[in-house]
Amino acid sequence: MTGALLLTSASTASADYVRDQQWVLDVFAMKDTWAVTQGQGVTVAVVDSGVDGSHPDLTGQVLKGKDFTGGGNAQDDLSGHGTGMASIIAAHGHGTGNSSGMIGLAPKAKILPLRTYQKKNDKNPDEAWAAAVRYAVDQGAKVINLSFGADGGKTSPVGREAIAYAEAHDVVVVAAAGNTGAVAVEEPAALPGVVSVGAVDKEANRWNGSNSGKGLALMAPGVQVLSADNTESQKYSLSDGTSDATAFVSATAALVRAKYPNLTAGQVINRLIKSASFLGHKGLKAPDEEYGYGIIRPRQAVTMNIPPGPKTNPLGQLQSSTSTSTESSKATGSSTQAEKKDSSSSSILVVVGAIAAIVVIGVIALVVVRSRRNGGSGGPGSRGGASSQYASYPPAQQPYPSSATNQGPPPSPGQYPHNPNPYSQQPPHQGQ
């Protein structure tokens, strides 16, 4: 969660002052970016405390949404957190030419508010946000913003299933790495396929409260970030945290999805990674545990010549236990059918063996009769001759083929449940 730091200039901040606080717009050259795309046609789901669509900078941008806390209104935001995230993503300003107030990185994207907790110190249960994630997917959201960490540190099975559901339905899932400064990315950000986000300051240095470690994907501004906040008298606040950074990455994903609508979620993430940069941090090798694959660059994400790459997510994919169970069930069914087939084959072999035995017995009887007729002279049909004749019979069971012949070709690399290195596609040098 972000910690609100009120604007201190006056009780009512001037419009120019508010826009001037948005240092991110300048460092990202957003005017040039908006000439290419503004996120039109893309819905970003904000799973949070709700989003106040009545804020002047958000009017017309916020869909009805849904409340998962017990029948309330998704646009009733008691803490201001969700409204802040939505504004970083899609605020459009207000007044003449929208020159007043704040503006988000994707001002023409739509926000789907999904309220999963109410007050600042309320728990955000996995059951609630997991249901919200599934709802977002079913409502057509192309990006899901999760500016929170799982209660208890680990994501429950229901939460993991929801993330797997989103990834399987071509949705970009973005989540906060955490604000404790620990060398461990929090879940759900740490789950395979999720874009985990840490925070940097104006100098592009990692914020000391930003979690780091294995699994960190991208960095984005998260210090002294302006956002809309109707719970404050000035209607705005400044804050620090990976929540804000997450919203910036979600907005950038929306810009990419608007510019390149035919790209899969994995290919969108690929563009975010390939266009990121370590900026002034020399000697880092991606993925770095403090900076991931680098700091996002929205303009480069929509303008750089980056091959689409594979359709799969370069950060991996979380597998659903349901699909695993189904596959296991199919395998069990196939095994049962194989057993039935083997059983049938065995029955046939038994019948053939019985017939062969009858033939052998008949031959023996014939030999004995002839032997008796011949007085046991050792001529044709004698014991030695019979023995030689029996040896010519093939064995009742052929040797089983070696197991190696039934293994089939080895699975292709894409079938292994690992997280491929996005840099295997010859990306541009980090730090450009």
In this structure, what token pair is assigned to residue 326? 């189904």
**Predicted pLDDT of residue 150:** 78
In this structure, what token pair is assigned to residue 213? 């470690």
Global confidence as pTM: 0.75
Virtual torsion, Cα 132, 136, 142, 146, nearest 10 deg: -10
| DSSP states of 107-121 | TTSEEEEEE---STT
Please report how the helices 157-168 and 126-138 are oriented relative to each other, as an axis angle in degrees rounded to 10.
20
**Predicted pLDDT of residue 362:** 47
**Predicted pLDDT of residue 270:** 98
Write the burial class of residue 232 (CB in 10 Å: 0-12 exposed, 13-18 middle, 19+ buried).
middle
Please name each of the domains of the chain with its CATH number: 3-319 (3.40.50.200)
**Predicted pLDDT of residue 208:** 97
- Within 8 A by CB and 6+ apart from 30, the residues are 24, 103, 105, 298, 299
What φ, ψ does residue 169 adopt, rounded to 5°? Answer: -105, 25
The verdict on whether 243 is a catalytic residue reads yes
**Predicted pLDDT of residue 414:** 34
- The amino acid at residue 176 is A
The verdict on whether 48 is a catalytic residue reads yes
**Predicted pLDDT of residue 344:** 46
Q: Is the dihedral of CA 75, 109, 43, 105 positive or negative?
A: negative
DSSP 8-state secondary structure symbol assigned to residue 394: P
Residue labelled with tokens 């999805």: 257
How far is 220 from 240, CA to CA, in rounded Å?
Answer: 12
Given 81, 92, 94, 281, the catalytic residue: 81
C-alpha 160: how far from chain center: 10
- Within 8 A by CB and 6+ apart from 382, the residues are 371, 376
Question: Per-residue confidence of the chain (432 residues) as pLDDT tens digits?
Answer: 444 444 544 434 554 689 999 999 999 999 999 999 999 999 999 999 999 999 999 999 999 999 999 979 999 999 999 999 999 999 999 999 999 999 999 999 999 999 999 999 899 999 999 999 999 999 999 999 999 997 767 999 999 999 999 999 999 999 999 999 999 999 999 999 999 999 999 999 999 999 999 999 999 999 999 999 999 999 999 999 999 999 999 999 999 999 999 999 999 999 999 999 999 899 999 999 999 999 999 999 999 999 999 999 999 999 988 754 444 444 445 444 444 444 444 444 444 454 444 444 443 443 333 433 333 333 333 333 333 322 222 333 333 333 333 333 333 333 333 344 332 333 444 444
The residues that bridge with 198 in the sheet, in sequence order, are: 219
Nearest to 53 by CA among 72, 77, 19: 77
Instruction: Print the SS3 string covering the chain.
Output: CCEEECCCCCCCCCHHHHHHCCHHHHHCCHHHHHCCCCCCCCEEEEEECCCCCCCCCCCCCECCCEECCCCCCCCCCCCCHHHHHHHHHHCEEECHHHCEEEECCCCCCEEEEEECCCCCCCCCCHHHHHHHHHHHHHCCCCEEEECCCCCCCCCCHHHHHHHHHHHHCCCEEEEECCCCCCCCCCCCCCCCCCEEEEEECCCCCECCCCCCCCCCCEEEECCCEEEECCCCCCCEEEEECHHHHHHHHHHHHHHHHHHCCCCCHHHHHHHHHHHCECCCCCCCCCCECCCECCECCHHHHHHCCCCCCCCCCCCCCCCCHHHHHHHHHHHHHHHHHHHHHHHHHHHHHHHHHHHHHHHHHHHHHHHHHHHHHHCCCCCCCCHHHHHHHHHCCCCCCCCCCCHHHHCCCCCCHHHCCCCCCHHHHCCCCCCC
The verdict on whether 170 is a catalytic residue reads no
Virtual torsion, Cα 27, 31, 33, 39, nearest 10 deg: 110
